[in-house]
Amino acid sequence: MLRVAWLIACVVAISGLLVLIAGVLWPGYFVVLWLHWLAGWGLLGVGLPALVLHLKKTDSSLLAPFLLLALVAVAALPAISGVDAPDESDLLPFLLDTYGRALTGRDVLMQHVIAPTALAALLIVTITTGVGGLLAPVQGRRSARWSGLCITVLAAWALATGAWQPWVQRDTLFLATSAHTATGLAALVALSLHVLSSRLWKREAPTPRARLALAAALVGIGGTMVAIHRAETVAAHKDREHAAGMQTSRIPATPEELEASVQPTGWKHLGVEVLRDSMSCGDARCHPDITDEWAGSPHRFSGRNRLYQAAVDDLLLGGSLAQASFCAGCHDPERVLTGRMAEYIGGVPDGGSDGVSCLVCHTMVQADGERPANGAFRVAAAADGYPWGGELARRNLLLDPRRHDQVLGVNLFVISPRPCKVCHRVVLGPDLGFAKTHVLQDTSLAPWDPGADSIVCEECHVDVMDRSFDQYRHEMVGINADLASYVDGLGPEDEARVAAVRLEALRQAGAVAWMPIEAPQWPAEPPVPPDMVRPGEIAPPRALALALEATREGDELVVAARLRNQRIGHTFPSGPPDLQEVWLEVRVTQGERVLHHVGDLDEQGRISGAPPWLGARELDASGAPIQKHRLFELAEVVDKRVLRLGGVVEDVLRIPLDPEVDEPVQIRARWLFRRCNPDFSGWAMPGRPVFATWELASATALLGPGSSD
Does 148 share its domain with 261? Answer: no
DSSP conformation letters of 191-244: HHHHHHHHHHTTSPPPPHHHHHHHHHHHHHHHHHHHHHHHHHHHHHHHTGGGST
Asked whether residue 669 is assigned to any structural domain, the reply reads yes
Report the b/e string of 401-437 with b at 16+ CB within 10 A.
bbbbbbbbbebeeeeebbbbbbbbbbbbeeebeeeee
Three-state SS at 80: helix
Q: What is the pLDDT of residue 155?
A: 78
Share of the chain residues as helix, strand and coil, in percent rounded to the nearest 5 = 45, 15, 40
Q: What is the pLDDT of residue 408?
A: 84
Q: What is the mean pLDDT of residues 163-174?
A: 62
Asked whether residue 31 is assigned to any structural domain, the reply reads no
Of the residues 398, 428, 447, which one is the last residue of a structural domain?
447
Q: What is the pLDDT of residue 223?
A: 67
Distance CA 203, CA 200 (A): 5
Residue 292: burial class (beta carbons within 10 Å; 0-12, 13-18, 19+): middle
Q: What is the pLDDT of residue 709?
A: 41
Phi/psi zone of residue 623: left (φ > 0), alpha (ψ -120 to 50 degrees), beta?
left
Does 84 share its domain with 101? Answer: yes
Number of domains the chain contains: 3
What is the signed CA dihedral for 376, 382, 384, 387, rounded to 10 degrees? 160
132-163 per-position pLDDT tens digit? 555 555 444 566 666 676 777 777 777 777 77
Asked whether residue 182 is assigned to any structural domain, the reply reads yes
Asked whether residue 416 is assigned to any structural domain, the reply reads yes
Inter-residue contact 233 to 227 (CB < 8 Å):
no
Q: What is the pLDDT of residue 61?
A: 55
Inter-residue contact 322 to 356 (CB < 8 Å):
no
Of the residues 389, 421, 447, which one is the last residue of a structural domain?
447
Q: Residue 127 is part of which domain span?
A: 60-238
Confidence band of 72 (pLDDT split at 50, 70, 90) = very low
Distance CA 145, CA 88 (A): 42
Amino acid at 196: L
Three-state SS at 407: helix
> Which residues on neighbouring strands pair with residue 249, listed in sequence order?
379
Nearest CA to 332 out of 358, 306, 293, 304 is that of 304
Does 74 share its domain with 124? Answer: yes
Q: What is the pLDDT of residue 109?
A: 43
318-359 per-position pLDDT tens digit? 878 999 999 999 999 999 999 999 999 989 998 888 999 999
Q: What is the pLDDT of residue 208?
A: 65
DSSP conformation letters of 87-149: S---HHHHHHHHHHHHHTTSSHHIIIIIHHHHHHHHHHHHHHHHHHHHHS-SGGGHHHHHHHH
Q: Does residue 218 surpass a pLDDT of 50?
A: yes
Q: What is the mean pLDDT of residues 181-208?
A: 68
State the alpha helices, DSSP H only, in 428-546: 458-461, 483-486, 492-509
Q: What is the pLDDT of residue 6?
A: 80
Q: What is the mean pLDDT of residues 378-401?
A: 84
Distance CA 72, CA 599 (A): 71
Q: Does residue 203 surpass a pLDDT of 80?
A: no
Distance CA 709, CA 599 (A): 23
State the alpha helices, DSSP H only, in 254-363: 255-261, 280-283, 288-295, 306-317, 321-331, 333-337, 358-363
Inter-residue contact 176 to 182 (CB < 8 Å):
no
Q: Does residue 703 surpass a pLDDT of 80?
A: yes
Q: What is the pLDDT of residue 539?
A: 52
Q: What is the pLDDT of residue 110?
A: 46
Q: What is the pLDDT of residue 366?
A: 87
Q: What is the pLDDT of residue 175?
A: 60
Q: What is the pLDDT of residue 611?
A: 96
Mean predicted lDDT score pLDDT of the chain: 78
Q: What is the pLDDT of residue 157?
A: 73
493-550 per-position pLDDT tens digit? 999 999 988 888 887 777 777 777 666 555 444 444 544 444 544 456 788 989 999 9
Give the range among 6-20, 189-203, 641-655 with minimum mean pLDDT: 189-203
Does 219 share its domain with 279? Answer: no
Nearest CA to 73 out of 117, 24, 11 is that of 117
Asked whether residue 67 is assigned to any structural domain, the reply reads yes
Asked whether residue 121 is assigned to any structural domain, the reply reads yes
Confidence band of 471 (pLDDT split at 50, 70, 90) = low
Top mean pLDDT of 107-116, 309-318, 395-404 is at 309-318
Confidence band of 706 (pLDDT split at 50, 70, 90) = very low
Does 251 share its domain with 224? Answer: no
Q: What is the pLDDT of residue 63?
A: 56
Inter-residue contact 485 to 298 (CB < 8 Å):
no
Which backbone phi and psi does 583 adopt, to 5 degrees?
A: -150, 165
Q: What is the mean pLDDT of residues 258-283?
A: 89
Inter-residue contact 616 to 625 (CB < 8 Å):
no
Does 225 share its domain with 296? Answer: no
DSSP conformation letters of 500-534: HHHHHHHHHHT-EE---TT-TT--SSPPPPGGGSP
Q: What is the pLDDT of residue 87?
A: 47
Who has greater pLDDT, 19 or 329? 329
578-629 per-position pLDDT tens digit? 999 999 999 998 888 889 999 999 988 999 999 999 999 999 999 999 999 9
CATH number for the domain that contains residue 666: 2.60.40.2360
Of the residues 432, 447, 462, which one is the last residue of a structural domain?
447
Distance CA 631, CA 188 (A): 67
Q: What is the pLDDT of residue 215?
A: 67
Q: What is the pLDDT of residue 508?
A: 76
278-325 per-position pLDDT tens digit? 998 877 667 888 888 899 999 999 999 999 999 999 999 987 899 999
Q: Does residue 221 surpass a pLDDT of 50?
A: yes
Does 411 share its domain with 392? Answer: yes
> Which residues on neighbouring strands pair with residue 656, listed in sequence order?
556
Does 581 share its domain with 674? Answer: yes
Inter-residue contact 190 to 150 (CB < 8 Å):
yes
Instruction: Give Cα 195 to chain centroid, integer Å.
Output: 49
Q: What is the pLDDT of residue 455?
A: 66
Who has greater pLDDT, 462 or 624? 624
Does 125 share its domain with 203? Answer: yes
Q: What is the pLDDT of residue 269?
A: 95
Asked whether residue 546 is assigned to any structural domain, the reply reads yes
Does 552 share its domain with 593? Answer: yes
Residue 607: burial class (beta carbons within 10 Å; 0-12, 13-18, 19+): buried
Does 101 share its domain with 182? Answer: yes
Distance CA 171, CA 645 (A): 35
Asked whether residue 15 is assigned to any structural domain, the reply reads no
CA quadruple 493, 496, 500, 505: dihedral positive or negative? positive
Does 576 share its domain with 696? Answer: yes
Q: What is the mean pLDDT of residues 216-229?
A: 66
Confidence band of 169 (pLDDT split at 50, 70, 90) = low
Q: What is the pLDDT of residue 693?
A: 92
